[in-house]
Amino acid sequence: MGTVRRHVFIAASAERVWELVGSPERLHEWFPVVASDVEGSTRWVALASGLRFEEEIVTLDHDLRRFQYRIINNPIIKSHLGTVDVIPDGPRRCVVVYSTDLDPEAMALMIGGAAGDGLERLRRTFEGDH
Amino acid sequence: MGRKILFVTTDQQRYDSLGCNGGRVARTPVIDRLASEGVNYRRAHPQSVVCMPSRSTMITGQHVSTHGVWMNGVPLPDDAPSIADDLRRAGYRTALIGKAHFEPFLDPFLRFTENQLAISGEHQRMVEGRLHRGFEHMESASHGGMGNFHYARWLTENHPEAVAMYYRVLDMSLQVNAAGGGDTGAPQVLYNEIPREWYHTEWVAERTMSWLDSLPADADWFCWMSFPDPHHPWDPPAGERHRVNWRDLDLPAGYPTDVARREAVLDAKPRHWRLWYDGDFVSNFEAPASWVPRTLTDDQVREIEALVHIENELIDEALGRVLARVAERGWADDLDVVFTTDHGELQGDFGLLFKGPYHVDSLMRLPLIWRPAPSAGVAPTEVTAPVGLVSLASTFAHIAGVAQPDYVEAPRLPETPAEAVELGHERVLTEWDSVLFGKILRLRTICRDGWVATACLPGTVHDGTEGELYDLANDPLQQTNLWNDPAHAARRSDLLADLWDHLPRTVEPRRECDAPV
């Protein structure tokens, strides 16, 4: 099992950031994927490489501001849990933490790398290009 | 018109694989001739013994601590300096054909430009206001027929039946595949039924000649021709197997045939050596995680050796064809050729294969040959002073008549032994950092005055007191570790002091690792 964690501090309220992060169908607006569609508790994510992930939404807690999901029905991925937390750090700042536990462990690094890109894009969305 | 630069790299090639360096099996007349006409460096080291960090050093002229690509899977930032960019701005046409690997290969999100170029079939892209890595033409290849590479695209489009002929580099866990093949069941070995003319070595040479053919006669150019071999998998075209019969080969000098002797040698080294040999500690993705080195047999070593020799002969012949094409274009008198590799291969030494945190000649001593343009009038010679791949960028600038960029961290390669002293080639440094889900291993190494000292920094296995010290003249196979020998305590102390004085400060924060390779 591979465990990775990325985080970013954003100069925006947790409420504003969660409005985007807590909308699973809007993943493509900040994460490096080309499309995301939600049907019930299933999300379909299309990658630029042509791969497509089927995901089970495990947690969508608007009070805790936590989103959890699993990649399922994938020939490579044996087990997976992804967690995104938006945690307030005062009224106008928050930290977004993206954690992934994944078997095979090598795949965790690639999800982590994409998360790093996504979090930086998220920061720019709320703070602008600086 | 100025001098043209053909920069030829292989991947994971040992110093002793070439005839000019004492190799007695593979026939490498083309490279041997370059050595006899140019400068053969007898003690050249990489600044990292894995691909991405070492290649990042080649293009930036910086140590690993500075460019920050501390392991495979850590992308070189888009805005990192590139000597190709400097040459291009000086009017040179620039190309990289073959294995690049400044960015991770495994890229399901298609985040990296190298991979995007291959998928789209493009050959260049402007990134942040400059040509990516400074190359106007990039065509990529790696060790097989799949993945985000121009070669894989070409093979799929033209010879789809050949894609699956290659060894499958990764297993279903995305680890380096441990599956054995050939006559001996050696890991990463396969008798590849691909015809020679479709093999990646041939493709790299063909694409290089095609690019050269596209240039006007009066162009100055810098072409990095980067062969993926002889890096594993060891799967050259089966039609070439007749070249070397593994049953005819002697075992390599660095492979202690007696198991007790082999394990005694390992036990005298820092603990991570024996731990990996026994399969108890895998600290990186550079070898199959499920392969245990102590299972290696004499015949497996011989068979791998034979396949490597075959791959090296194919490289030599491909290079010969490219040099002939250069001569046909009328450029021979103005052509500089620099030949090297990114790191070595254990290839049976100490009972081990592949590479890892093992700073010995198997991985660190590299072939490095600079054949200056005949028009430059540089006399053939050998240089024994320690030099590093970190000097390549400034060497290319020198050849092109470009001022040495301020970002490089080493002087150019010397043309004579005397110049090695004048330029300050006293020492060469190599770093290893691996952080694999909490398993941390860090080494810092210096080579100078005929000695190699490696300090194991505190990590998962080491507490900071272990290390290695070898006398290269009297122990050329590095089988006697003098680190704890009181008679050499002062030498050890002096070498480490020099190491800490000259090692660049590590870039902070540490760059993230985005893939296993």
In a domain, A50, yes or no: no
Establish if B509 belongs to a structural domain.
no
Q: How far is CA B235 from the centre of its chain?
A: 18
Which is nearest to B71 in space by CA: B355, B261, B334? B355
Q: What is the C-alpha separation between B99 and B140, in angstroms, rounded? A: 5
Residues in B closer than 8 angstroms to A52, CB to CB, are none
Contacts of B78 (CB under 8 A, 6+ apart): B113, B127, B128, B132
Residue A118 contacts residue A100 (beta carbons within 8 Å): no
The whole-angstrom distance between residue B78's C-alpha and the CA centroid of its chain comes to: 22
B418 in any annotated domain: yes
Average pLDDT over residues B280-292: 95
Using one digit for the tens of pLDDT, what is the confidence trace for B465-489? Answer: 999 999 999 999 999 999 999 999 9
Q: Is B320 helix (H, G, I), strand (E, B) or coil?
A: helix
- Is there a domain that residue B38 lies in? yes
What pTM was estimated for this model as a whole? 0.98
d(CA A85, CA B418): 62
The 3 state secondary structure assigned to B407-443 is CCCCCCCCCCHHHHHHHCCCEEEEEEEEEECCEEEEE
A61: exposed, middle or buried (Cβ count in 10 Å: 0-12, 13-18, 19+): exposed
Q: In this structure, is residue A38 part of a structural domain?
A: no
Angle in degrees, 0-180, between the axes of helices B51-60 and B392-400, rounded to the nearest 10: 30
Number of H helices, E strands in chain B: 14, 18
Residue A77 falls inside a structural domain: yes
How many helices and strands in chain A, by DSSP H and E?
2, 7
Q: Measure the CA dihedral B76/B79/B84/B89, to 10°.
A: 180
CB A5 within 8 A of CB A97: yes
Q: Is the pLDDT of residue B371 over 60?
A: yes
How far apart CA A28 and CA A101 sit, in angstroms, is 21
pLDDT reported for residue B501: 97
What is the domain count for chain B?
1
Angle at B100 between CA B197 and CA A100, to 5 degrees: 120
pLDDT in tens, B104-154: 999 999 999 999 999 999 999 999 899 999 999 999 999 999 999 999 999
Could you say which of A2, A51, A114 has the minimum Cβ distance to residue B437?
Answer: A2
For position A94, which CATH number holds?
A: 3.30.530.20
A33 inside domain: no
CB contact under 8 A, B437 and A116: no
> How far, in Å, are A105, B144, B177 from residue B169 at the CA level?
17, 7, 6
Domain that holds residue A89: 2-19+57-127
In angstroms, the CA B218 to CA B398 distance is 20
The CATH number covering residue B48 comes to 3.40.720.10
Range list of β-strands (E), B141-258: 180-181, 186-187, 221-230
**Chain A residues within an 8 Å CB radius of B148:** 49
Q: Confirm whether B172 is domain-assigned.
A: yes
With beta carbons under 8 A apart, name residues in chain A contacting B515. Answer: 106, 109-110, 113
- Do B254 and B15 touch, CB atoms closer than 8 A? no
What is the C-alpha to C-alpha distance for residues B314 and B317, in angstroms, rounded to an integer? 5
Contact (Cβ atoms closer than 8 angstroms) between residue B323 and residue B205: no
Rounded to a whole number, what is the distance in angstroms from the first to the last CA of chain A?
36
| B104 to A113: CB separation less than 8 angstroms, yes or no | yes
Q: What is residue A130's predicted lDDT score, i.e. its pLDDT?
A: 57
**Cα separation values, B230 from B114, B211, B450, B471, Å:** 22, 24, 28, 28
Q: How confident is the model at residue B506 (pLDDT cuts 50, 70, 90)?
A: confident
Torsion of CA B100, B101, B106, B108, to 10 degrees: -60
Provide the number of structural domains found in chain A. 1
Q: Give me the domain span that covers residue B146.
A: 4-425
As a whole-number percent, the residues of chain B with pLDDT over 90 amount to 99
DSSP B113: H
Smallest Cβ–Cβ distance between B514 and the set A3, A48, A109 belongs to: A109
Contact A109 B515 (CB under 8 A): yes
Encode pLDDT of B196-226 as tens digits: 999 999 999 999 999 999 999 999 999 999 9
Is residue A10 within 8 Å of residue A17, measured between CB atoms?
Answer: yes
Cβ neighbourhood burial of B240 (10 Å; 0-12, 13-18, 19+) = middle
CA angle A55, A56, A58 (to 5 degrees): 135
Q: Does the residue B503 lie in any domain?
A: no
pLDDT confidence band for B83 (50 / 70 / 90)? very high
Pairing between β-strand B4-11 and β-strand B39-41 as defined by DSSP bridges: unpaired
Q: How far is CA B1 from CA A50, B55, B157, B179, in A?
A: 46, 29, 39, 52
Given a cut of 90, is residue B505 above it in pLDDT?
Answer: no
For residues B361 and B343, what is the distance between their CA atoms, to the nearest angstrom?
A: 10
Name the residue in chain B with its Cα closest to that of A108. B515
Residue A62 lies in a domain: yes
A110–B437: do the CB atoms touch at under 8 Å? no
Low-confidence ranges of chain A (pLDDT < 70): 129-130
What is the pLDDT, as a whole number, of residue B1? 80
Residue with tokens 């508790």: A41
B462 and B272 in contact (C-beta within 8 Å)? yes
Q: Which residues contact B460 (CB under 8 A, 6 or more apart)?
A: B281, B283, B438, B439, B440, B441
Which residues in chain B are contacts of A75 at CB distance < 8 A?
172
If you measure CA to CA, which chain A residue comes closest to B175? A106
**Helix (H) or strand (E) run with residue B263 in it:** helix B259-267
> Mind listing the pLDDT tens digit for each residue in B388-402?
999 999 999 999 999
Amino acid at B474: N
What is the average per-residue pLDDT within B354-366? 98
Closest CB to A33 among B73, B107, B109: B109
Instruction: Give the separation between CA B307 and CA B284, rounded to whole angstroms.
Output: 25
pLDDT value for B130: 92
For the ranges B13-17, B50-54, B85-89, B508-512, the lowest mean pLDDT is seen at: B508-512
Model confidence pLDDT, tens digit, residues B332-353: 999 999 999 999 999 999 999 9
The angle at the Cα of A3, spanning A26 to A74, to the nearest 5 degrees, equals: 60
Adjacency order of strands within the sheet including B439-448: B427-436, B439-448, B451-457, B467-471
Q: Is residue B341 part of a domain?
A: yes
B285: which chain A residues are within 8 Å (Cβ-Cβ)? 106
Q: What is the mean pLDDT of chain B?
A: 97
Instruction: Give the ipTM.
Output: 0.97
Section B173-199 average pLDDT? 97
Chain B residues whose C-beta is within 8 A of a chain A C-beta are: 73, 104, 106-111, 119, 148, 172-175, 285, 437, 512-516
Whether residue B178 lies inside any domain: the answer is: yes
Measure A104 CA to nearest chain B CA, in Å: 5
Q: Does a structural domain hold residue B469?
A: no
Percent of chain B with pLDDT over 70: 100
Residue A76: which of B174, B403, B197 has the closest Cα? B174
